[in-house]
Amino acid sequence: MKIALLPSDQGELKALSLTAYADTGAATNSTIAALARLIYPAEGKELADFDVISNLPAGAPFRGPGGPPMAFALEQAIDEAALRMNVDPIALRKRWDPDPNRQRLYDWASSLDVWRNRKPIATQSGRYRRGVGVATGYWLYLWQPRSKVEVAVKGGRLVASTATQDIGTGTRTVIANTVAREFGLEPHEIDVRIGDSKLPEGPGSGGSRVTASVIPPMLLAIEKLKAAIQQNAKRQPAPGSNAPWREWLAASPDLSASGVRPEDSRQMAPGIESPLKQAGFMGWIFGWMMRRFSNLVIGAGMPSSVQVIEVEVDTWLGHVRVVNVHTGIAVGKIVAPALAHSQAAGAVIQGIGYALYEAREVDSRTGDVLSGGMEDYRIPGIADTPVIDVHFDQGGFDHVLGGSVGIGEVATVPTSPAVANAILNATGVRLTELPIRPDRLVAALKGRAAA
């Protein structure tokens, strides 16, 4: 990747250029540089993605494809610009990135003690040096049209059904929690039926689209079902009941109602708009094509994340220990707090793997994958997991019925550049290759090229 930023004399971002050559192997359509289109508006942007096609197996970071490498380049470039302009890196992002969701996250990040107490760059001289770095990430808010959810009363129990799936990301809990909350029940009292294509059409699991695709139709279905229950009830709840819906349900015959994903409200908070608007007519065409051919809508507002990461570098042995991570995430209202927290923490751990350990190594002559087992393909272990502080900013998506969008991809995007920026803060050395292994770090500290 090659990246260049041009600040104006007034300190605004004038131009941004990013060219990415992706090792796509036997595949095409890498999207790395293109993702820099939708953040840090500038007068001029030159963004180009190239696929380097070979007989190697296809591969890309699995979570937020294209996002982590884009952020690794862009967020280090922003950090470098802040350093050269002698501006606080969070203050520069506040100036260059007007997105209202991220503006709130920047305020949160700049108030953290770990950020306020960080030392100036490369002012330490011992073997172990600590540094603090910041980076930003975003993902598209995607939802799938025609997503349909049926909510029914069967034998006095509530059953929610849609043909989606839970690949470990918490779909089942999101559905159960939403229905339970609306009826004043406990999540375990709700039967969730997914994973069957005979059920009403639901969204695929990809691109962080599921939450924003299933909650709005589910809320419509619940509203209809509630009216039907009240109409058909054999008796009314006792006056002053503290669990009226429990009583309505006990008195209800079997009923069902369904909802189809509605369009979002056009009443949006200031500064919230479709990211495609920035791309003008081309954006409109792209949006139409996405809806027509991919059955996917790019909605208004951007799921966003800002991470502040502290590392400790062992300059003798090239070892990086991530000490603590503060991850701020704006994906609207959190429907399943325990699982969202887990997703946010897991995304940090996965991001640390991307930053420090994970690499597919191949034999250059035969293309044989050499790192085919868990001993040679390193991922973080428990001892590599830092203290993780998760902050959810729950605003920004009031135009979406229910106010919630997906968290999956956005939560992992900024980790690797935040780690690299923290290493720079600690040592004065900027690492531009991933993963940041001991061989690369000791070579960089000695000012020579890695093998």
Partner 1 sequence: MTPTTMTATQAGEFRAAGTDLSERRRSGVSTGPLIDISAAPDTIGMHWGAEGSLRIGAFTTIAAIAADARLAAAYPGIAASAQGLATPQVRHLATLGGNLAQRSRCWYFRNPHIACLKKGGSDCPARSGNHLYHVAFDLGPCVAPHPSTMAAALLAYEAKITTDRRSSLTIGDLLGDGSNGTADNALQPGELIKSVALPSPLQGERALYKRAISRTHAEWPLVELCARAVIRDGAFQFVRLAAGGIAPVPLRLVAVEATLQGKQASAATIASAAEQATSGAKPLPMTGYKLDLLKGVVQDLLERLTA
Is 103 one of the binding residues for partner 1 (CB under 8 A)? no
User: In angstroms, what is the minimal distance from the CB of 129 to partner 1?
Assistant: 14
User: In angstroms, what is the minimal distance from the CB of 54 to partner 1?
Assistant: 15
Q: State whether residue 4 is helix, strand or coil.
A: strand
User: In angstroms, what is the minimal distance from the CB of 318 to partner 1?
Assistant: 7
Do 208 and 139 form a contact (C-beta atoms < 8 A)?
Answer: yes
Nearer to partner 1, 289 or 450 (CB): 450
User: In angstroms, what is the minimal distance from the CB of 381 to partner 1?
Assistant: 6
Q: Determine which residue in the list 273, 384, 389, 433 makes contact with partner 1, applying CB under 8 A.
A: 384
Nearer to partner 1, 282 or 451 (CB): 451
H or E element at residue 313: strand 304-314
Alpha-carbon Rg for the chain, nearest whole angstrom, is 24
Nearer to partner 1, 88 or 312 (CB): 312
Q: Determine which residue in the list 111, 376, 387, 432 makes contact with partner 1, applying CB under 8 A.
A: 376
Q: How many residues does the chain have?
A: 451
Q: Which of residues 412-451 bind partner 1 (CB under 8 A)?
A: 435, 437-439, 442-443, 446, 450-451
Nearer to partner 1, 235 or 446 (CB): 446
Sequence-distant (≥ 6) Cβ neighbours of residue 375 within 8 angstroms: none
User: Any long-range contacts for 94-97 (C-beta under 8 Å, 24+ apart)?
Assistant: 95/11, 95/12, 96/12, 96/13, 96/40, 97/39, 97/40, 97/136
The Cα–Cα gap between 41 and 219 comes to 36
Q: Determine which residue in the list 10, 86, 117, 364 makes contact with partner 1, applying CB under 8 A.
A: 364
User: In angstroms, what is the minimal distance from the CB of 359 to partner 1?
Assistant: 9
First to last CA, the chain: 18
Is 145 one of the binding residues for partner 1 (CB under 8 A)? no
User: In angstroms, what is the minimal distance from the CB of 444 to partner 1?
Assistant: 10
The two three-digit tokens of residue 196, written as one number: 């069957």
Is 387 one of the binding residues for partner 1 (CB under 8 A)? no
Sequence-distant (≥ 6) Cβ neighbours of residue 287 within 8 angstroms: 274, 276, 297, 298
Q: What is the dihedral of CA 399, 404, 409, 412, to 10 degrees?
A: 110
User: In angstroms, what is the minimal distance from the CB of 323 to partner 1?
Assistant: 12
The Cα–Cα gap between 119 and 74 comes to 23
User: In angstroms, what is the minimal distance from the CB of 447 to partner 1?
Assistant: 12
Q: Which of 363, 355, 346 is nearest to 322 (CA)?
A: 355
> Site map for partner 1, 304-323, x if CB under 8 A?
------------xxxx-x--
Count of beta carbons in the 10 Å neighbourhood of residue 368: 11
Q: Determine which residue in the list 117, 155, 235, 375 makes contact with partner 1, applying CB under 8 A.
A: 375
Nearer to partner 1, 129 or 209 (CB): 129
Do 133 and 418 form a contact (C-beta atoms < 8 A)?
Answer: yes
Q: Which of residues 320-359 bind partner 1 (CB under 8 A)?
A: 321, 356-357
Nearer to partner 1, 142 or 311 (CB): 311
User: In angstroms, what is the minimal distance from the CB of 300 to partner 1?
Assistant: 41
> Site map for partner 1, 1-20, x if CB under 8 A?
--------------------
Query: Cα–Cα–Cα angle for 428, 127, 429, nearest 5°?
Result: 15
User: In angstroms, what is the minimal distance from the CB of 294 to partner 1?
Assistant: 38
Count of beta carbons in the 10 Å neighbourhood of residue 341: 17
Partners of 388 in the β-ladder: 325
Is 370 one of the binding residues for partner 1 (CB under 8 A)? yes
User: In angstroms, what is the minimal distance from the CB of 310 to partner 1?
Assistant: 16
The two three-digit tokens of residue 274, written as one number: 């479709």
Q: Determine which residue in the list 7, 133, 380, 402 makes contact with partner 1, applying CB under 8 A.
A: 380
Q: Which stretch binds partner 1 (CB under 8 A): 52-60, 146-154, 295-303, 380-388?
A: 380-388
Do 128 and 423 form a contact (C-beta atoms < 8 A)?
Answer: no
Residues within the interface to partner 1 (CB under 8 A):
316-319, 321, 356-357, 361-366, 368, 370-373, 375-376, 378, 380-381, 383-384, 435, 437-439, 442-443, 446, 450-451
